[in-house]
A and B are shown apart, each in its own frame.
Chain A
Amino acid sequence: MCGICGCSQPGKINKLQPVNGQVHQHDHGHRHHDHETERLVKVEQDLLSKNNAYAEQNRTYFQQHHIFTLNLVSSPGAGKTTLLVETIKVLKDRFPIAVIEGDQQTEHDADRIRATGVPALQINTGRACHLDAHGIGHALQALGIKDHSFLAIENVGNLVCPSSFDLGEAHKVVVLSVTEGDDKPLKYPDMFHAADLMIINKTDLLPYVDFDVQRCINFARQVNPDIQIIQLSSTKGDNFSAWTDWLAGNVKMEA
């Protein structure tokens, strides 16, 4: 028994002397709170439960208001903002569009979206590497999105963390540009597994880069056999209608 604090744990105590201002020092590894009654509390709660609860709230809101929502994810520089700007130009007269932009810093992307005439709201995540469903809920309140519309959420450029955080979207869309490696689906499988649609962007640059489209598609299907794939160039417009038709069809179904 410890002669200083009276606890019943057996322990070999060689010397008790003040060390660094502490009154006494044990070498038998127990902590002082051991003296009080410890008990087990069952929790069995998912670590993402809070985010998932907010995501479900967002999803219900989208369904009630017939808002078709996509969560766009990619590496930085894959062309998400340009894709959105060109998409808005094609579709903005057909149904209302709104955009939530996620970046660590700056309003540059939201400014580019606003220049097209649709409302955009920038979330600066600061140190955070992803958007979460709670932040999106606040953005929805601030943005006032119209019913029967398309909402694009452009996530922080990051192929890792956003894969775990459901925002309440209908689909995750992963954008991969041909100036990146064609093996990205294998390098970042969680994201390509979580996405329902992969857009291979900047296809106009294919003659100048060492990107094997078929290899990329095979890798993507390896991690996600059900993934849909659209190849396009946002800046040149090549095959762009495949994407805007897919999008418009979904917005119509939502309505």
Chain B
Amino acid sequence: MTNLPGADLHLPEGCRAGTAMHELSLLENVREILENHAVSQKFSKVTKVTLEIGKLSSIEPDALRFGFDVVMKDSLAENAELIISDIAGLGICRQCGLEVELETSHDPCSHCGSPKVKVIQGADMKIKDLIVI
């Protein structure tokens, strides 16, 4: 028997996601990325954050907006404006080779109906740029 003593994993301070929705976890990543850039790019305040959210990412823009002010409170991006630009979903059909617009990552090809469509755009979510002081 190889029981581990005290098997509950206590993550070091700052290692917990600690949030109830994955959008909030992602916003905590945003805050951390801003803080890292503040050091490397030498700024002390962020007034505007522009995110690009792909339509095929499993992200709900409204949930991001909802959580943004909460997560950025007491950070260098407190009161910053949040801009979310949507990136359309695009895929290439593995059957007929045509490029198709996608509403979800599992849409069939709108030309030939094949379910085998490879996503080429719209799955990502990223911080595009910031306005800083």
Contacts and interface: CB of A to CB of B under 8 A. Distances in A.
A128 B7 contact: no
Interface in B91-133: 104-106, 108, 115-116, 124-133
Interface string B23-63: 00110011011000100010101010001000001110000
Question: Which of A31, A38, A121, A160 counts the most B-chain CB atoms under 10 A from its CB?
Answer: A38
Interface string B11-26: 1100111111110011
A114 interface: yes
Interface residues of A, number: 55
B37 A43 contact: yes
DSSP majority for the B interface? loop
Interface stretch (A44-52, A83-91, A173-181, A201-209): A44-52
A143 B5 CA distance: 10
B30 A47 contact: yes
Given A110-B7, A138-B9, A41 B130 contact: yes
A121 B7 contact: yes
A157 to B, nearest CB: 15
30 contacts: A31-B79, A33-B133, A38-B47, A39-B131, A39-B132, A40-B130, A43-B126, A45-B127, A47-B30, A47-B125, A48-B125, A49-B29, A114-B1, A117-B1, A120-B7, A121-B4, A121-B9, A123-B9, A126-B16, A127-B20, A128-B18, A130-B17, A135-B11, A135-B16, A138-B11, A138-B15, A142-B9, A164-B57, A222-B115, A223-B106
Interface of B: 1-4, 7-9, 11-12, 15-22, 25-26, 29-30, 32-33, 37, 41, 43, 45, 47, 51, 57-59, 79, 104-106, 108, 115-116, 124-133
Given A48-B125, A121-B4, A128-B18, 14 more contacts: A33-B47, A40-B132, A43-B126, A45-B33, A107-B8, A120-B7, A122-B7, A123-B8, A130-B25, A132-B25, A138-B9, A139-B9, A222-B106, A225-B116
